[in-house]
Amino acid sequence: MKNLLNKLIFILILLPLSIFAQNSVSGSVTDANTAMPIPGANVIVKGTTNGTTTDFDGNYTINGIENGDVITFSYVGYQLSVVTFTGQATLNSSLSEDTAVLGEVLLIGYGSVNKRDATGSVTQITTEDFNNGNIVTAENLINGRAAGVTVNTSGAPGSGSTIRIRGGSSLSASNDPLIVIDGLPITNDNAGGSRSILAGLNPADIESFNILKDASATAIYGSRASNGVIIINTKRGSSKTSVQYDVNFGYNTITDQIDVFNASEFRNVIEEQFPIAGSNTNAQLQARLGNSDTNWQDEIFRDVFSVNHNLSIRGAIADVLPIRFSTGFNRQPGNIETSEFERSNFSLALNPKLFEDHLKINVNANYSREDNRFADTGQIGAAARFNPTQAVYDPTNPFGGFFQYLNADGTKIAETPGNPVASLLQRRNAGNVDRFYGNVEFDYKLHFFPEMRAVVNVGYDRSFGEGSDVTDPTSINGFDAGSTINDIQFNNISSYTSLRKNKNLNAYLVYTKALGDFNLEATGGYDYQVFERNDFTTNNTNDPASNPPRLTEPIDVVLASFFGRLNIDFQKKYLLTLTYRRDGSSRFIDEFRFANFPAAGFAWKISEEFAENSTLSNLKLRLGYGITGQQEINQGALFNIYQSSISTSQNVSQYIFGDTPIATALPGYRNQSIKWEETTQYNVGLDFGLFEDRISGSVDGFYKESKDLLISAPIADGANFTNQGFQNIGNLTAKGVEVSLNTDVIKTENVNWNISYNATVIDREITKLAQGSDIEIGGRSGGTGGTIQVHREGQNPNSFYVYQQLYDTAGNPIEGAFRDLDGNGIINSNDRYIRGNPDADVTMGFRSDLKVKNFDFSFALRASVGNEVYNNIASANAYYSLINNQGFPSNVPTSVTETGFVSQDAQIINSDIYVEDGSFLRMDNVTLGYTIRNAFNANANLRFYTGCQNVFVLSDYSGLDPEIPGNSGIDNNIYPRPRTYLVGASLSF
Amino acid sequence: MKIYKNMFKISSISLACLALLTATSCLDDLDTEPIDPTVVTAGQFLTDENSALQLLAGVYSNFTLPSQTGPTDSNISGLDAGSSTFSRTMWNLQELSTDEAVWSYENDPGIPDLQRNVWNDSNEFISGMFGRNALSLTLANDFLRSSEGLSINNIDVMRAEARFLRALAYYYFMDLYGKAPFVTELDPVDPTFQPPVAERQQLFDYIESEINEILPSLSAIGQGPYARADQGAAYMLLAKIYLNAEVYIGENRYSECVAACNSLINSGAYTLNPNYAFNFTSDNNLSNEIILGLPSDGLLSQSFGSTTIILNGEVGSIEGNGDEIGVNGFGGAMRLRKQISEILEVPAAGDRNTLKTAGRTISVTSIADRDSGYTHAKYKNITSQGVPGSDRTFADTDFPLFRYADVLLMYAEAVKRGGTGGSESQAVQFINDLRNRANAPTIGATELTLLFLIDERGRELFWEGHRRQDLIRFGRFTGGTYNWEWKGDTPNGSSIPDFLKIYPIPARSLATNPNLTQNTGY
């Protein structure tokens, strides 16, 4: 595919035409390395349209040639060879491989295209552009590197990320982009016991990310492409033997904590504030104060060392079987006590080419093992709240020697705050996942019809996770069997297994033809994929009130699709791409099962219109249009929404007739007209390069409109088996501009300085909802079942929906006083208004790479402007009355001294005082390295480096970190991101 | 070389064929069927009496469970799972808006405006009840639709029960909202369907005719299995709508109320439990006084609604009396307002007074102050023999939706309000039966007044989900005749407008069904 496409490109590059046909010449074209013939190589008389391609034995004949004509021999992936014709009868040429050319090839799904000829908005990020530092999960290699792409990862080791391309096109359906690894589309549904879908990937195995952003590029993936596509290409074998070993060590530390009172401040606050209206007496609290001074957050957080080893060997077995083998080991303890992530990777790539390169086989086989221990992030909030006057340990306490509140007789009290250190240390929630994924691709150029290639790709991805969650027998959080609270204490024990399977087959034909000034490439094929999963859990086997062990087997998801793509160009200047995909999904009923996704992309290489121009080296205008879809709803459901089905109840949800428990049977929500969500996207882009691309970049403007949104929306009461369910109702638009710039500021033999910058402006708006009615979402803590956000027509999705706080003349907030926005004299839910949303208006990425002789120095910055954050830590906790936590003295954030708020209710918790500007500038990474070249032989390089990750965050936000994982904008119990100091070395030879 | 070429010619042709073949056969794979054994497609489910019972249990369960998948899941949206249960939303709407209870944690959405009588059409409980109750309609309709014409043992009884449950749901719509989406088994299951709306008169007529139609098919009075509706439950529902007919449709139907009560009383199927408290213990399913109970089981039938929320709410902040109640408690989640405490404190309450007063003020001086206002220990998760229930959170105690004592009180009230077919002396006797059972002083004929009856209903039936309906019938809910603490959002209580007698149609329901119109005043 690559080869054919590039062949076309080269033919066209060399067009300017005039023919003086006199003589003829013939010969063969071979690989300089292997001496094997190269079929399909281009042989062109320079400055004319006279040319041909070699046959499958590498032979050619060219007519109408004059003495002095310059003949060029070219083939994709090889350096150009130029020979002047001086009347030779035979003219043979041997071409050498050109790695630089390969780097320019973009992967676009079922094929590739030379970057210069791309019509869509595609960003490629390859190894040299990857982020530095302690990169645990693959997506963090590209965080901040591509315009229009945001990656948001929590601080938990190996944790998943929220990846958004151009903001997300859905409301209730998935907003995750489709990720394709070596041609295998993967699911976003990871197995139990695993941290995330990409946690099993070794970042060191990745060669490139190709991010398809506009619909003219993504539509080839049809129904799953609305949120963009990320194609991950892994490293392959090569003919040269090389070995690379990398190791790095990190020191990870938490830099900030929730500000709460220390022990003496806490005693004072109780003295000052209690007794207060709405609370128990002072004496009850005083009785439960101790004599210690404990910072509970210090006790649950820790500094940890992480280590990362990677070894890869590339080469060719017997010179014919290019192979790459790699292994990696990553150990990343978490900064919350007991949290652990460990990963081992083994990866094998075989890339043989057979029958004079007519048959290329690519085999990727990867195995990864993830070992996790999960810490309950709820303990972060618990630690902030726990009584600072008590010590962590109490040797006399029967519950494992930790301090716990007890009755006077030493027995357990129901419903008390528990010691957060004990809750962490006395629980082991661990899981491990074995994952195998890989694919085999056969790419066969037909011997009898070399313009045609047939490609068959078979992919398989299987994860099996197992784990258990066990509390220590002495833990106070154990289960009380028997009738009174201190009857018999059992530990909680449960275990689970989890299986995910994903099987893919795709097969397609590619036909390439040059017709005069036109070049044509046609691709057509079929793609079939099935996702299977099941989960088994024992539940708490010591608790008779919990469900008995149960295997859950959701319905399979099957996708079957036909796709086609036509690339036509005229004189290499005008490029047109037409794509079409017809997708079928098992999620929908016959009638709505299939949908068509067409797209068109057009590019005009304006710079080709001019004679060689040293200032303007590249200028290309791109126009794109396309329709993509979204069908990913009800992940893991037991049945499809369109089916009428009956479910029987679990053990704990039976109904009792007389003395007989009956497993209830209920029909499930049914919508027979459920179908695809559709996104239409328009894109205008301009790629430019100045001074031989010393300065290069692109600007893209896009407009997306999603209609028939799959929204879990209210249903008329009495019309179905629930009052809210998935329907195709609603429209959402997103518009934005992306800019990226790349400059080689200095490019000399000893000094190289490269700067890259990208910025994205996005604005999303809901234009239609079912019956125009609001959907309240965004669960927040504090009270049961409260929400803080709303989907509303005319507004950004997830807008914060709050009461307007009133302030006194001194500027202090008046507790419980809100503006009566509807003026009816009563403050109720009708008085809420919209204040901001968690989406950034502008995101930016900046990176500087400086190489001075053997030193390298780089840093990366990322910024987000205009995103709001709801400080749920403060809104749920910062009230004086909460110091009395059902009779137990509990800490509250010191921000309570600023508001002076005493009591929490359902209105004050939704006050706009808690919605803050979350704009930030973060330095993700700074790295300094030194390379010893020719370390112990001519090919060996040894590089040492040191760096710091998460160097600083500048923000006005009063909480810890305004970058909220999941992009929810609701800050609560967030696993903090550590700062990492890193040293490492890499050796290659 | 040439050999290879031919080989590849052949193999690539066969490859193309193979691809085509797989392509067509794989399209059939798009028809997927449930794999999990707990799910089948609807047509395959209903095959025998057992599966019919399961489906019927599903309809019943909607009156007390939030879902089929445990207490923290809900099959309706808009409020948390525990609050979404019928038993809890109904209880909250009938009790928290009155003198009988306050919920201490006002950071729970929907609580403050409900218990301070300043609710609007976005209130979570008002919305949740509408959605949950409508689900009972669609579930009952689905049962009727799918069991139509099947020859299964006892299917006629079960179909009659489904119709009873549908009528019961319409009764709560009529009482709480004054109207309902009107759907029967003839209507489609379709998210875009917008049901027509029935107002009180139509609902009243429909409930009355449905009950009369199904009466012959239901199990004989008192003869149905426990927790299943028999003719007793049907007469009870009739008695309820007739007693409140003046409120619902402006008609005097007290004589019919007396008749329905007489059917229950004369059947001899029910007797007062000698011990009042045993109607509220974890073995109250054995009490012969319960006409229709909503079952609960700490191990097998769990929810955060029904008695679980009541029991855990009873455990006091000062008392920490989890062992007495039989659950761990929520740290003082509920208390009584002064006015109901005063009614319960008089000697007339007898054993029915279980108030906890030590260290407490009788007034709820602050809703957040869990030490102000009395608590009580009416419900217990402990058997009549003192054996604790099976779980410390989830109750074994059943919720007494319909109780025989109420029949006696309704009889007395209907007679007092002019209903024929009964006598005041009989009424006095019934009241004294209740009094004697509670070891409270009996009354004389002159003491039987309407004002006496509303208080006596408070003493006998408090926290059983009747209070709002009763206060409205006695003209004491809205206006300023009877004020309780925090009524109208003032500490000592103040007059509230009349339109609050009917809850608003929830905003989300109005938006999804243009056939609904908002109730006056909202």
Cis amide bond preceding A598, omega within 30:
no
Residue A212's nearest CA partner among A169, A166, A281, A277 is A166
Least confident of A54-63, A286-295, A305-314: A54-63
| Direct distance between the N- and C-terminal alpha carbons of chain A, in angstroms, rounded to an integer | 31
Please report the sign of the dihedral spanned by the C-alpha atoms of residue A739, residue A745, residue A748, residue A751.
negative
Question: Chain B partners of A59 at a C-beta cutoff of 8 Å?
Answer: none
Q: Compute CA A961 distance to the chain's CA centroid, rounded to the nearest angstrom.
A: 20
Contacts of B121 (CB under 8 A, 6+ apart): B127, B504, B505, B506, B507, B510, B518, B522
| pLDDT over threshold 70, residue B14 | no
3-class secondary-structure state, position A791: strand
Least confident of A276-290, B136-150, B352-366, B421-435: A276-290
How many residues are listed for chain A in this entry?
989
User: Mapping DSSP to helix (H, G, I), strand (E, B) and coil, where does residue A11 land?
Assistant: helix
- Does A44 have pLDDT greater than 60? yes
Q: Are A379 and A436 in contact (CB under 8 A)?
A: no
Chain B contact for A659 (CB, 8 A cutoff):
yes
Residue B19 reports pLDDT greater than 90: no
Which tokens hold the place of A82? 């130029």
Can you give the pLDDT at residue A34? 63
A665 in Cβ contact with A206 (< 8 Å): no
Chain-chain contact of A650 with B512 (C-beta, under 8 angstroms): no
Q: What is the pLDDT of residues A128-163, one digit of tens each?
A: 888 888 888 888 898 888 999 999 988 888 888 889
Cβ atoms of A368 and A341 within 8 Å: the answer is no
Q: In the A/B pair of chains, how many CB contacts fall below 8 A?
A: 386
Question: pLDDT tens for residues B390-430?
Answer: 988 999 999 999 999 999 999 999 999 999 999 999 999 99
Q: What average pLDDT does the segment A908-921 reach?
A: 95
- So what's the pLDDT on residue B8? 44
Between the alpha carbon of residue B312 and those of residues B317, B321, B416, the distances in Å are: 11, 10, 37
Closest C-alpha among A737, A687, A758, A986 to residue A143:
A758
Query: How many CB atoms are closer than 10 A to CB B100?
Result: 28
* H-only helix segments in B62-154: 86-91, 111-115, 124-147
Integer Cα distance of B403 and B398 in angstroms: 12
- Taking the C-alpha atoms of residue B265 and residue B273, their distance in angstroms, rounded to an integer, is 14
**Which pLDDT score, from 0 to 100, does residue A8 have?**
39
Please check whether residue A827 is in contact with residue A806, taking contact to mean a CB–CB distance below 8 angstroms: no
Q: Does residue A472 surpass a pLDDT of 60?
A: yes
Choose between A514 and B448: higher pLDDT.
Answer: B448
Mean pLDDT of A366-394: 94
Determine whether A956 is exposed, middle or buried from the number of CB atoms within 10 Å of its CB (0-12, 13-18, 19+). Answer: exposed
Residue B160 three-state SS: helix
Cα of A724 to nearest chain B Cα, Å: 6
Burial class (CB in 10 A: 0-12, 13-18, 19+), A305: exposed
For the cut 70, the answer to whether the pLDDT of residue A726 exceeds it is yes
Residues A560, B507: C-beta atoms closer than 8 Å: no
User: DSSP H helical segments within A257-361, as ranges?
Assistant: 263-273, 282-286, 296-300
| pLDDT band per the 50, 70, 90 thresholds, residue A98 | low
- Cβ(A737)–Cβ(A758) below 8 Å: no
The answer to whether A886 contacts B332, with C-beta atoms less than 8 Å apart, is yes
Measured on CA atoms in the order B251, B257, B258, B260, is the torsion positive or negative? positive
| Cβ(B321)–Cβ(B377) below 8 Å | yes
H or E element that contains A691 = none
Chain A residue at shortest CA distance from B300: A652
Is residue B397 a contact partner of residue B145, using CB atoms and an 8 Å limit?
A: no
Q: Where does the pLDDT of residue A15 fall: very low under 50, low under 70, confident under 90, or very high at 90 and above?
A: very low
Side-by-side strand order, sheet with A868-871? A915-917, A868-871, A970-971
CB B243 within 8 A of CB B259: no
Nearest to A164 by CA among A946, A839, A980, A877: A839
Residue B271 has a pLDDT of 96
**Cβ neighbourhood burial of A423 (10 Å; 0-12, 13-18, 19+):** buried
Radius of gyration of chain B (CA): 26
Q: Does A585 touch chain B (CB under 8 A)?
A: yes
Q: Which A residues in the span 127-186 are in contact with B, Cβ-Cβ below 8 Å?
A: none
pLDDT-derived band at A12 (thresholds 50, 70, 90) equals very low
Q: B65, A661: Cβ pair inside 8 Å? A: no
Instruction: Of A327-331, A700-704, A741-745, A965-969, give the lowest mean pLDDT range.
Output: A965-969
| B206 has pLDDT over 90 | yes
Q: Is A744 exposed, middle or buried (0-12, 13-18, 19+ CB in 10 A)?
A: middle
Residue B10 pLDDT > 90, yes or no? no
State the average pLDDT over residues A690-694.
86
- Single-letter amino acid code for the residue at A474: T
DSSP SS3 for A872: helix
pLDDT at residue B24 greater than cutoff 80: no
How would residue A101 be classed by pLDDT, with cut points 50, 70 and 90? very low
SS3 content of chain A, % helix, strand, coil (to 5): 10, 50, 40
Check CB contact under 8 Å for B19 and A507.
yes
Q: Is residue A738 scored above 50 in pLDDT?
A: yes
pTM above 0.80, yes or no: yes
Which member of B33, B36, B228 has the closest CB to residue A554?
Answer: B36
pLDDT in tens, A171-208: 888 889 999 999 899 988 888 888 888 888 899 999 99
3-state SS track over A954-982: EECCCCCCCCCHHHCCEECCCCCCCEEEE
pLDDT of residue A280: 53
Residue A451 Cα, gap to closest chain B Cα (Å)? 14
- Interface check for A665 against chain B (CB to CB < 8 A): the answer is yes
Quickly count: other Cβ atoms within 10 Å of residue A73's Cβ. 25
Q: What is the mean pLDDT of chain A?
A: 88
In which region does residue A253 sit, left (phi positive, over 0), alpha (psi from -120 to 50) or beta (all else)? Answer: beta
Q: Which carries the bigger pLDDT value, residue A31 or residue B63?
A: B63
Higher model confidence: residue A311 or residue B191? A311
Percent of chain B with pLDDT over 90: 82
B23 Cβ contact partners less than 8 Å away, ≥ 6 residues apart: A526, A528, A560, A562
Give the distance from residue A319's alpha carbon to the nearest chain B alpha carbon, in angstroms: 20
Q: Is A692 on the interface with B (CB under 8 A)?
A: no
Q: DSSP secondary-structure letter at A788?
A: E
Taking the Cβ of residue A887 and every Cβ of chain B, the question of whether any pair is shorter than 8 Å is answered with: yes
3-class DSSP string for A413-466: CCCCCCCHHHHHHCEEEEEEEEEEEEEEEEEEECCCCCCEEEEEEEEEEEEEEE
Taking the C-alpha atoms of residue B145 and residue A200, their distance in angstroms, rounded to an integer, is 50
- Is A103's pLDDT higher than 50? no
pLDDT band at A19 (very low <50, low <70, confident <90, very high): very low
Mutation for B interface: A273, A723, A907, most B CBs within 10 A = A723
Three-class DSSP category at B324:
helix
Contact A646 B41 (CB under 8 A): yes
Per-residue pLDDT, averaged over A972-986, amounts to 91
For residue A651, give the chain B residue with the closest CA: B300
Work out the average pLDDT over A959-975. Answer: 90
